[in-house]
């Protein structure tokens, strides 16, 4: 049995990651980083980003260690509560303030949208999604709620499991 990592603990990613280089590695790492952040675990990691990948999509997640350029921009932008979701009975509420000038709130309360959003918490291929789930994935991608790397997609916002204090700050 794998022991749970307690909130506030620090973990180090096992190896450097190059976001956008390999779609499988990218979506798996983003999913792992998102889930650790949701659990309140502090992650230290090394990495870089290929030029075709957009780091601002990930500024709600803990930044990699590094100096200059986009590393500094990511560190300066990162904050708790930039992009998260909460689940209720039959709906998912999403808040996105990664770009304060274009902040958005969403409530997903339709079966295909909530089902696809939840399914993509684990990275999956767009080819696996059929019919209304594929349409829902396209709509979620358009709103930048999913990250696409090659043919793979993963849900971007982290789950707010514990409301931070002071709650009114979010």
Class of residue 145 by CB neighbours under 10 A (exposed 0-12, middle 13-18, buried 19+): buried
Count other C-beta atoms under 10 Å from residue 155's C-beta.
Answer: 26
pLDDT for position 1? 47
Once rounded to an integer, what is the mean pLDDT over residues 152-156?
97
- pTM given for the model: 0.89
Q: Write out pLDDT tens, residues 2-49.
A: 567 777 788 898 889 999 999 999 999 999 999 999 998 889 999 988
Count other C-beta atoms under 10 Å from residue 73's C-beta.
Answer: 14
The rounded radius of gyration (Å) of the Cα atoms in the chain is 16
Distance CA 145, CA 131 (A): 19
- Average pLDDT along the chain: 89
Token digits of residue 79: 């904050």
Once rounded to an integer, what is the mean pLDDT over residues 64-83?
87
CB-based contacts of 105, cutoff 8 Å, min separation 6 = 93, 94, 95, 96
Once rounded to an integer, what is the mean pLDDT over residues 61-74?
86
Q: Write out pLDDT tens, residues 95-136.
A: 999 988 889 999 999 899 999 999 999 999 999 999 999 999
DSSP letter for 102, please: G
């Amino acid at each position: 049995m794998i022991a749970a990592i307690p909130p506030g603990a620090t973990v180090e990613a096992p190896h450097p990651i190059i976001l956008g280089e390999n779609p499988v590695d990218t979506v798996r790492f983003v999913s792992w980083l998102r889930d650790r952040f949701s659990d309140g675990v502090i992650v230290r990691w090394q990495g870089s980003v290929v030029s075709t990948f957009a780091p601002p999509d990930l500024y709600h997640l803990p930044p990699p260690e590094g100096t200059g350029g986009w590393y500094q921009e990511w560190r300066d932008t990162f904050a708790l509560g930039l992009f998260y979701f909460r689940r209720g009975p039959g709906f998912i509420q999403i808040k996105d303030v990664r770009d304060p000038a274009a902040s958005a709130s969403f409530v997903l309360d339709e079966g295909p949208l909530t089902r696809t959003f939840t399914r993509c918490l684990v990275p999956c291929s767009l080819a696996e999604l059929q019919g209304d789930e594929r349409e829902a994935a396209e709509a979620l991608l358009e709103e930048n709620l999913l990250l696409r790397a090659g043919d793979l997609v993963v849900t971007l916002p982290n789950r707010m499991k514990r409301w931070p204090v002071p709650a009114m700050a979010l």
